[in-house]
Amino acid sequence: MSNEPLVISSVEGPIAILTLNRPQALNALSPALIDNLIRHLEMYDADDLIRAIIITGAGRAFAAGADIKAMANATPIEMLTSGMIARWARIAAIRKPVIAAVNGYALGGGCELAMMCDIILASETAQFGQPEINIGIIPGAGGTQRLTRALGPYRAMEMVLTGATISAHEAAAHGLVNRVCPPETLLDEARRVAQTIAAKSPLAVQLAKEAVRAAAETTVREGLAIELRNFYLLFASEDQKEGMRAFIEKRAPNFSGR
Ligand code: CAA
């Protein structure tokens, strides 16, 4: 077993970059790798100096799925009690913006991980798919739900039932991906988007993320209530006063995060 960290973490000013690092296994998401990823995400979520997080993969994959070798002999009770897949929900629960920089294969759990992020940028070499059907299972970390919301029921159904992958350009054309970049500029584009978000009020960013997420996860009525509550709440922040004052005084705002 290699001594390399399963997740390489680096901080560039207000941005944390997490690189999934099992390239020899196409970054298959073993329980240890997922635990490591969750630990880093939750640490940066709690760190006031970090305003946006990027997840990418080392080598030719973003992630080729949950680790099939770690699950092959599992019983349903072991899958349930270990929380092996259920704990991925903690990734989707991160409050700060998370950008997926998808550099290669995003298959199965890898595609599901990308869809737990808030913005998906893809390299021209990326491929997306839910190939679980090929190994006698179905997606278990949100694929049937998030892919259907991203692509619509017919395209999602075809992908989930046939296991076929789609290219980065197809994914972008159908709304699964924000945009496609040449491989060599993918991370810089992710940094650029992260920097843009990092310059905003972090309170407004957090409450905006919560409200947009609600559109996919609740009814319109509930989502509208969450949006209005968060809108009102921001009027309690110094950043709202500063942002509006700066606009009126024709200068750049200086957000404090309070
Ligand atoms: N789990 C464990 N190991 C994996 C893996 C995975 N999901 N994907 C790739 N690997 C390993 C391979 O076993 C291989 O290891 P060895 O060198 O020790 O044999 C190594 O990564 C390189 O893979 P390949 O030799 O297969 O590379 P390739 O270029 O020929 O093929 C691929 C690439 C098409 C992505 C192929 O690796 C593949 O089909 N991988 C599995 C994809 C998949 O089925 N993902 C879904 C997993 S289940 C899931 O994710 C459930 C869920 O919803 C949470």
Amino acid 3: pLDDT: 80
Domain with CATH 3.90.226.10 in the chain: 7-198
For the CA of 88, the closest atom of ligand 1 is 54
**Pair of tokens at residue 222:** 């509930």
Residues whose CB is less than 8 angstroms from the CB of residue 100 and which lie 6 or more positions away in sequence, other chains included: 54, 55, 56, 62, 106, 113, 114, 117, 119, 120, 121
Residues whose CB is less than 8 angstroms from the CB of residue 221 and which lie 6 or more positions away in sequence, other chains included: none
Residues whose CB is less than 8 angstroms from the CB of residue 121 and which lie 6 or more positions away in sequence, other chains included: 99, 100, 101, 102, 177, 178, 179, 180, 181, 186, 189, 190, 193
Residues 247 and 245: their CA atoms lie apart, in Å, by: 5
Amino acid 1: pLDDT: 54
Best mutation site among 68, 82, 111, 113 for ligand 1 pocket (most ligand atoms within 8 Å of CB): 68
The yes/no answer to whether this complex scores an ipTM above 0.90 is yes
Q: How far apart are the first and last CA of the chain?
A: 45
Rama region for 213: left / alpha / beta (φ>0; ψ in -120 to 50; rest): alpha
**Pair of tokens at residue 121:** 């940028």
Write the residue with the smallest CA distance to atom 28 of ligand 1: 26
Domain with CATH 1.10.12.10 in the chain: 201-249
Amino acid 168: pLDDT: 98
Confirm or reject: Cβ of 57 under 6 Å from ligand 1: no
How far is the centre of ligand 1, averaged over its atoms, from the C-alpha of 25 (Å)?
Answer: 7
For the CA of 61, the closest atom of ligand 1 is 35
Using CA atoms, how far residue 34 sits from 29, 85, 113, 197, 253, in Å, is 6, 9, 10, 26, 38
Please list the active-site residues.
Answer: 66, 109, 112, 132
Per residue in 60-71, pLDDT tens?
999 999 999 999
How far is the centre of ligand 1, averaged over its atoms, from the C-alpha of 144 (Å)?
Answer: 20
Residues 203 and 210: their CA atoms lie apart, in Å, by: 11
Per residue in 155-173, pLDDT tens?
999 999 999 999 999 999 9
How far is the centre of ligand 1, averaged over its atoms, from the C-alpha of 196 (Å)?
Answer: 35
Confirm or reject: Cβ of 72 under 6 Å from ligand 1: no
Its pTM stands at: 0.97
Architecture of domain 201-249: Orthogonal Bundle (1.10)
How far is the centre of ligand 1, averaged over its atoms, from the C-alpha of 26 (Å)?
Answer: 6
Per residue in 117-130, pLDDT tens?
999 999 999 999 99
- Class (C level, CATH) for 7-198: alpha beta
Write the residue with the smallest CA distance to atom 54 of ligand 1: 109
Amino acid letter, residue 29: L
